[in-house]
Structure 1
Amino acid sequence: METYRIEQNYDQSICLIPISQIEVLNSRDRNEKVFAEVLESIRTVGLKKPITVTKNVDSNYQYQLICGEGRIKAFLQLGESEIPARIIDVSKEEALIMSLVENIARRQHRAMEFLSCIERLSDLGYDKNEISKKIDLAPVYVQGIITLLKNGEERLLYAVEQKKYH
């Protein structure tokens, strides 16, 4: 097993945990070019930032992933079975929200992926004002997205994303 160096700027301790014990609740599609760059960076330089997980009490998995699915996939592709992780203590709902907000915060995400994250927050019971604070968008914009998604207008949203307006 190859060892991957970790650059640390954390006060929390970092543990090596089995990848097979991590539940990914908020999986997302990856840009293949970006993923290849992450993979090569880990292979040559090492892991710069550990993944973030929380303990999982109501599942067959010991941990729930908050942040770092791409790093997990890279480690698996490199033949590793364990990965360095920062373990934080949050509820399952807080972990899911943190994961959704992390995905929303990414600079280059697909619009539909972004919109579905907003819909998931709404489905969890958050109103437009709470969601807008978490993702730094106007409540009226968030409400518009929720309304379109709840009314089955994914085709309209997809057309806007693809710039197909006819």
Structure 2
Amino acid sequence: MNTSHNAADLQMIPVEQIVILNPRDRNGRVFDEIVGNIKSIGLKKPVTVTPRDDLGDGKHFLLICGEGRLKAFKALGEKLIPALIVTVDDEDAFIMSLTENIARRKYSALELLMSIVQLNQQGYDKKDIAQKTGLSLDYSNHPPAKPGAFGM
């Protein structure tokens, strides 16, 4: 990952200007808890975004971290959300998003495999994948699934 990005900037930005970079399905009960927590005590941690000029439809930011928080803000009818704005390229944004998700929750083996395959398709070798995700080289060293395998 390129570590020579600009310092982060905390701003209130319109929720409608954010595109989700790495969307994922979430448990409805967990989402309801996120909405309830934000409604009762507020947002504890801002979302992380990176600016983009080429998204169209009035969108100006890619969401790196905080999909649940962003969706909760939308569900609550909020128009602005606190956002940590970092300037990184698409590759670094994807890696940041993936590693945030891996660190935050326990992935199923299939979800991890799909992420490893996606990184491999982007040109990363197994050693790079292990280093960037914090997974062991043994874990990321399994051959990527062929399209159609495991229902993919």
Structure 2 length normalisation: TM-score?
0.85
1:49 alignment partner, SS class = coil
Opposite residue 64 of structure 1, the aligned amino acid is L
Return the offset for 1:81. Answer: 1.9
Opposite residue 19 of structure 2, the aligned amino acid is E
Residues of 2 paired with 1:98 and 1:150: CA distance?
25
Residues of 2 paired with 1:121 and 1:103: CA distance?
14
8 Å CA contact 1:104–1:117 kept in 2: the answer is no
- Aligned residue number for residue 129 of structure 1: 127
Cα–Cα, structure 1 residues 148 and 92, in superposed 2: closer, same or farther, change >3 Å?
closer
Identity of paired residues, percent? 47
Does structure 1 residue 58 correspond to structure 2 residue 54? yes
Alignment of 1:12-161 (within 5 A): 12-60=8-56, 61-144=59-142, 147-150=143-146, 152-154=148-150
Return the offset for 1:148. Answer: 4.5
Residues of 1 paired with 2:125 and 2:86: CA distance?
26
8 Å CA contact 1:54–1:88 kept in 2: the answer is yes
**Structure 1 unaligned regions, length at least 5:** 1-10, 159-166
Select the structure of larger CA radius of gyration.
Answer: 1
**Structure 2 unaligned regions, length at least 5:** 1-6
Return the offset for 1:107. Answer: 2.5
State the structure with bigger RCO (CA 8 A, min sep 6), 1 or 2.
2
Residues of 2 paired with 1:125 and 1:57: CA distance?
25
Q: How many residues align?
A: 144
1:83 alignment partner, SS class = strand
Return the offset for 1:12. Answer: 4.8
Return the offset for 1:20. Answer: 1.2
Return the offset for 1:149. Answer: 1.2
